[in-house]
Structure 1
Amino acid sequence: MGSEGETAVNGLHKLANPGKATILALGKAFPHQLVMQELLVDGYFKNTKCDDPELKQKLARLCMPPKIPFFHIPSSKLFIKINSVDSICAGKTTTVKTRYVVMSEEILKEYPELALEGTPTINQRLEIANKAVTDMAIEASQACIKNWGRPTSSITHLVYVSSSEARLPGGDLYLAKGLGLSPETSRVMLYFMGCSGGVAGLRVAKDIAENNPGSRVLLATSETTIVGFKPPSINRPYDLVGAALFGDGAGAIILGTDPELSIEKPLFELHTAIQHFLPNTEKTIDGKLTAEGISFKLGRDLPQLIEDNIEGFCDKLMGIVGLNDKDYNKMFWAVHPGGPAILNRMEKRLNLLPEKLVASRRALMDYGNASSNTIVYVLEYMIEETLKQNQNEKNENGDEWGLLLAFGPGITFEGILARKLIV
């Protein structure tokens, strides 16, 4: 696994309100295989030995070529082993450019049955996935702890989120063991919450932190698409969307109340968290664990359902501190980028300025939809953008308040009203 560079957070920090949960550090990690979107189509069809020209054309349409070329890589290579991506030139569009994945040519050689249609492979997939998500979660957590600046022994609670593994004991125990956490560390697992898992984990971690004064909660998320990797099939058209959109990785966040400012650097205060599900939409995001791995599909009406309900959900959160729809562009927006359509519809419905979703679009471009992890990547980019604005004295909107949002199976809306504490 390979962790990404640290986000330096310097300068002044606003004071968090006493007793309110505060994000104190972030961390992330990724597997070593980097998928270049421009090479995905040929590599995917070659590795799955599929020669259906119609399916190949459909996937090619989903993988629009980047406007700015990447460094040259032989077209026969889909999976690229890397140590860093400093030499990659990033474009400025909403399309995915790069993603990290656990799947590799070595794995396909060892487990060729993973690319065969109709073969029971759940045992092999979980054998690979269970280890991979633990390794990534450990590395992301270690990066987070390093950024935090306090010893691992100061962690009192662990919240672990994943939709990519299934075992007893769960990944929370293996993560605690890998980090050397105290056996008295209180653990919570959140399984199979999909894209809403990261913000749901923050909601649970917030409650734990605020109800246990002096506690420090580690939230870790870890995901891999290997459990759902399948050859293309005309009977499963949504698999092509998954192949073009989803990525692997891990994220970590440390939360606590009443930060020790001599050591800790508060980033965001989590003021209020709510959850809401839309009745009779449980089939819109439909996933099943089968003998062949995870199979899922998304309804075509998903972006419309989110668009139709987003205003009321956001207004409920904003009203808590007296904000209303006229304040949308005075806030920051940390939105899980489920896909470009969702971001575009939100932007249109709420009349958001283009810069409001920059962090979400950057995360989608660089990492794809990495399920529960992605909110961590969005928050890191938001910190980076804020520091850049402050340095250039261009932060004219004064976006102290904002929303953390994600949407998952149910359809479930997760939202947190937050304060940015970076000055």
Structure 2
Amino acid sequence: MVTPSSFTVNIPGLTNSATASCQPTVDDHILMGTSHPVTVLEGVRCGQRANGTAAVLALGTSNPANCVRQQEYSDWYFRVTKSDHLAQLRDKMKRICEKSGIKNRYFHHTEEMIAAHPEFLDRALPSLRTRLGITTAAMPELAAAAARKAIAEWGRPAADITHLVVSTSSGVSSPGADVRVAALLGLRPTVRRVMHCLHGCAGGSVALRLAKDLAENNLGARVLVVGVEATALAFRGPDVADLDALLAMALFGDGAGAAVVGAGPMSSGERPIFHMLSASQVTLPETDNTVGIKVTESGLHFKVSPEMPKLVGENIKRCLADTLAPFGLASDWNGVFWAAVPASPAILDTYQAALGLEPGKLAASRRVLSEYGNMLAATIFFVLDQMRCRRGSGNKEGRENCEWGVMLAIGPGITVEMMVLQAADTGDKD
């Protein structure tokens, strides 16, 4: 008969080192609030968990081939939407584009595609079915392109992926892009999938938070995380009564980003990029109508209140202080690196002013905004990749050397997504 004191968990895939690390000591029993030896349930639970903190192990990004220069976008947009007669709105769009800091954006939709679908420009005509057909076909290919780069960098077969998390604001269907991505990549039929939609600019950060939980609570898990956007779902012509749409047309672009996330023990060849230490989310009270996304018969509609930067500025320091305090980092905002989703230039300026950041602290975010625009769920992967490059840069002026960092995004709600990171290239050194 097996007694609790001699019970050993035997789970396939559980290594000896992991088993040893899970044997509770007297101190462990005290911390768990128990005075008895490990029970069957405690042993099983311990044996199922990873032995270590989750880490980003690889990154990959991808964009459609169609690139539109921001300095040409206003003329292009008003021409393809047959709106040249709206001179005042065109001038307003030009001013927005000039102030955006964006140089390039990439789109799946082209001038020819828009011309073939006049319902995209007439708000009175239903177009959701057509738009969803286009994005449903485009997103898996774009997502798979980014994922293949991440898997290649990771160095293990795609079949070793145990979990798949896909985030987008450009589709709402089931089966969704996750099923098609899994098939395109040759993932196992047993891969455990999660698909979530409409988290806007915070979508990729939400997906990475979920990946951290999955990796740390499933021994041997390797989570492929993907954020992908094809904004044809939201493309429409200008309207004097809908300035939110004008702002969206001036900022958003298409792209996909991917990461492989896992927790210890690491296999041979796996090299962490960023350790994911702590994740948190705060929803600012009474901001439900400040930032939002709505799916209608005429496509996707974004709502962004002019009050958003002010509200973020008034609350961001408190949100971050609560997240960073356990690490002793709550007061030294310039002593950490910043991987912030560049929702807009105004949001980045708000972070800089509210936190008193030095000009170069948001350089990675501003570079991504400049080269790609705001790609919603995909953007954070581009920012992490840019931060990784800056850490390895030989240019001392552009190099980021801080060991600790913050991943930051703002989503509908207003919801603040935060994660404390530790750069592996410094965190593993004595």
Instruction: Give the alignment's TM-score, normalised by structure 2.
Output: 0.85
Residue 323 of structure 1, CA deviation:
1.7
The structure 1 segments of at least 4 consecutive aligned residues displaced by more than 3 Å after TM superposition are 259-262, 391-398
Q: How does 1:54-65 map to 2 (within 5 A)?
A: 54-64=88-98
378, 382, 390: which one aligns with 1:385: 390
Shift in Å, 1:398: 4.4
> Does the alignment pair 1:376 with 2:381?
yes
* Number of the residue aligned with 2:46: none
1:296 counterpart residue number: 302
1:151 to 126, 132, 157: 157
**Residue 43 of structure 2: aligned partner:** none
The higher radius of gyration belongs to 2
Match of 1:420 among 403, 423, 429: 423
Specify the alignment match of 2:242 in structure 1: 236
Structure 1 residue aligned with 2:27: none
Q: Tell me the distance in 2 between the aligned counterparts of 1:53 and 1:104.
A: 23
Contact 2:165 2:207 in 1 (8 A): yes
Task: Check whether the contact 2:392–2:399 (CA below 8 A) recurs between aligned residues.
Answer: no
Aligned pairs for 1:117-156 (under 5 A) are: 117-156=123-162
Aligned-partner Cα distance in 2 for 1:147–1:270: 19
Question: Aligned partners of 1:289, 1:393: CA distance in 2, in Å?
Answer: 46
- Give the aligned partner of residue 26 of structure 1: 59
- Structure 1 match to 2:346: 341
Residue-by-residue CA offset, 1:327-382 (whole Å, 9 max, x unaligned): 21111010011111111111111111111100000011011010011111111111
Q: 1 or 2 for the larger relative contact order (CA 8 Å, sep ≥6)?
A: 1
What pairs with 1:4-403 in structure 2 (closer than 5 Å)?
18-50=51-83, 51-64=85-98, 95-258=101-264, 260=266, 262-325=268-331, 327-388=332-393, 391=394, 398-403=401-406
Shift of 1:135: 1.0
Following TM superposition, by how much is the alpha carbon of 1:116 offset from its aligned partner in structure 2, in angstroms?
2.7
Corresponding residue SS for 2:98 = coil
Query: Residue 397 of structure 1: CA displacement?
Result: 7.5
Distance in 2 between residues matched to 1:341 and 1:404, nearest whole Å: 18
In the alignment, the residues of structure 1 paired with residue 82 and residue 399 of structure 2 have an alpha-carbon distance, to the nearest angstrom, of: 54
- Deviations for 1:229-281, whole angstroms, at most 9, x for unmatched residues? 11101111121111111111101000001263631121000000011101111
Q: Shift in Å at residue 19 of structure 1?
A: 1.1
The residue type equivalent to 1:322 in the other structure is G
Measured after TM superposition, the shift of residue 113 of structure 1 is 2.4
Q: 1:402 to 1:54 in 2, by over 3 A?
A: same
Q: Distance in 1 between matches of 2:255 and 2:89?
A: 27
Q: Is the contact made by 2:273 and 2:425 (CA closer than 8 Å) also made in structure 1?
A: yes
Letter in 2 for 1:416: M
CA distance in 2, matches of 1:63, 1:101: 16
CA distance in 2, matches of 1:278, 1:26: 31
Cα contact 2:80–2:115 (8 A) shared by 1: no
Query: What's the offset of the Cα at 1:172?
Result: 1.1
- What SS does structure 1 have at the residue aligned with 2:392? helix
1:63 maps to a residue whose letter is C
1:180 offset after TM fit, Å?
1.2
Shift of 1:148: 1.0
User: How much does 1:35 deviate?
Assistant: 1.1
Question: 1:218 touches 1:254 (CA, 8 Å); kept in 2?
Answer: yes
The percentage of aligned residue pairs carrying the same residue is 40
User: Residue 76 of structure 1 corresponds to which residue in structure 2?
Assistant: none
- Distance 1:198-1:396 versus aligned 2 partners, 3 A rule: closer
Residue type of the alignment partner of 1:403: V
**102 and 396 in structure 1: CA distance in 2 versus 1, 3 angstrom threshold:** closer
The answer for unaligned runs of 5 or more in structure 2 is 1-49
SS in 2 for 1:422: helix
Q: Secondary structure at the match of 1:24?
A: strand
Please state how far the C-alpha of 1:174 moved relative to its aligned partner: 1.2
Q: 1:126 to 1:18 in 2, by over 3 A?
A: same
CA distance in 2, matches of 1:289, 1:323: 40
Tell me which amino acid in the other structure corresponds to 1:35: V
Residue identity matched to 1:272: S
**Cα distance in 1 between the residues matched to 2:235 and 2:274:** 36
Q: For residues 356 and 292 of structure 1, do their structure 2 counterparts lie closer, same or farther at Cα, with a shift above 3 Å needed? A: same
TM-score, normalised with respect to structure 1:
0.86
What residue number does 2:40 align with?
A: none
Q: Tell me how far 1:296 sits from its aligned partner.
A: 1.9
Following the alignment from structure 1 to structure 2, what is the Cα–Cα distance between the partners of residues 299 and 123? 28
